[in-house]
Amino acid sequence: MGSESVPRGISFLDHTADVGVEVHASSLPDLFILAALGMASLVYGADMAAEDDTPVAGPTPPTAPAPLAAGERASAGAPVRRVLSLSAEDVPTLLRAWLRPLLGWLETEGLALRAARFDELTGTRLEAVVDLAPDTREPIREIKGVTLHGLVAEHRGAEWTGRVIFDV
């Protein structure tokens, strides 16, 4: 854009409005878990989760809390279980659909993913039970949304690769 087409009094700023994660996993459920962990790490800082605190895919522990409806608030400090039923046109948009409610719960309720059981996870459908727990740390940034820009989730050789860009 030449300066002759810009009205006087307007200038443009260089601005970084996005952050992203790239993840590699041996399975599709692990890719979804790692993408969620990466997103939380962007909110709380790179050292967000201790090794024994890393969210896991697989059977939900029998001592997990009873399910709460989306939007229903847990008592302070109490873990929460929620059920997600999502569909999308392909794996990348399903990954985005998975991250959006997790981001919402993280940003609005301070609830971070602790475990997930995928009852169904295909290229277009996801049925999961997720266990969330309050995270009392101060966030280092706010993520406004999960973008479609540069979104990747694909099987490459023996592993799954994903890339997600977030609007900050």
**pTM of the shown model:** 0.77
User: Which structural domains are found in the chain, ordered by start?
Assistant: 17-46+54-167 (3.55.10.10)
pLDDT at 156 over 90: yes
Question: Tell me: the pLDDT tens digits for 36-53?
Answer: 999 999 999 865 444 444
Q: Measure the CA–CA gap between 92 and 152, rounded to whole angstroms.
A: 5
Residues with Cβ within 8 Å of 1's Cβ and at least 6 positions away in sequence, in order, are none
pLDDT at 48: 44
Buried b (16+ CB within 10 A) or exposed e, 11-47: eeeeeeeebebebebeebbbbbbbbbbbbbebbbeee
